[in-house]
Amino acid sequence: MISTNDFHTGLTIELDGDIFTVVEFQHVKPGKGSAFVRSKLKNIRTEAVLEKTFRAGEKVPRAHLERKEMEYLYRSGESYCLMDLQTYEQINLSGEQMGEATSYLRENERLTVLMHDERVVGLELPHTVELSVAETDPGFKGDTASGGSKPATLETGLVVNVPLFIDIGDQVRVDTRTGEYVERV
């Protein structure tokens, strides 16, 4: 159990049978009445954000998440196979469990799997990934006066806006948090 007075960003707690991460919190001590903690909590599974107010000093159960380094091996139908890098044990996850990660992962890519009570509750991707451009329109010199962008489909099927000088086959770095183009590699 952890007191709401000890909340900090990134803390994981259990609430109503789900696991939440503290995104934002604020201790409020009004002039009249008792103090309370106003918080923004993000559900690890659904990524929904919930605003909740706790009494100051109220105890909530802390969720202990185990982080395992894993490697994405292959996709078989709607199932994604991952291998634990420590034990070489393989697990299969559904597309729903993988979430947006399927747009950024190539075979043999590493990621961190969050586990609670031996079940997968979330994934952490590297902040940026390098993917090759599978399809894009050609960019012609002089199209714009100050740069410009065009849509490009990457090898995983993800569509991002890239500068006009990017061609098919180029390697680009994409930010997994925002889904935006960062630079050409």
DSSP β-ladder status, 36-43 and 18-28:
antiparallel
Residue bearing the bigger pLDDT, 159 or 123: 159
pLDDT of residue 141: 63
Residue 13: both structure tokens together: 């707690």
**In the chain, what percentage of residues exceed pLDDT 70?**
96
Q: Quote the mean pLDDT of the chain.
A: 88
Q: Is 25's pLDDT higher than 60?
A: yes
Domains of the chain: 2-60 (2.30.30.30), 66-124 (2.40.50.140), 128-184 (2.40.50.140)
Residue 94: both structure tokens together: 């559904």
Q: Is 185's pLDDT higher than 70?
A: yes
Q: Is 144's pLDDT higher than 70?
A: no
CA distance readout (Å), 165 to 141, 143, 170, 171, 172? 8, 11, 10, 12, 12
43 and 54 Cβ atoms separated by less than 8 Å: no
Q: Is 132's pLDDT higher than 90?
A: yes
Please tell me whether residue 100 adopts helix, strand or coil conformation.
Answer: helix
pLDDT of residue 177: 85
Average pLDDT over residues 52-76: 91
CA distance 15 to 95: 25
CA distance 7 to 15: 14
CA distance 4 to 150: 47
Q: How far is CA 150 from the centre of its chain?
A: 25
pLDDT of residue 60: 93
Average pLDDT over residues 4-9: 88
What are the b/e assignments for 135-151, b being 16+ CB within 10 Å?
ebeebeeeeeeeeeeee
Which tens digit of pLDDT belongs to each residue from 65-119?
A: 888 999 999 998 889 999 999 999 999 998 888 888 888 988 898 999 988 888 8
55 and 29 Cβ atoms separated by less than 8 Å: no
Which tens digit of pLDDT belongs to each residue from 95-104?
A: 888 888 888 9
* Cα three-residue angle 101-106-111, rounded to 5 degrees: 55
Q: How far is CA 110 from the centre of its chain?
A: 14
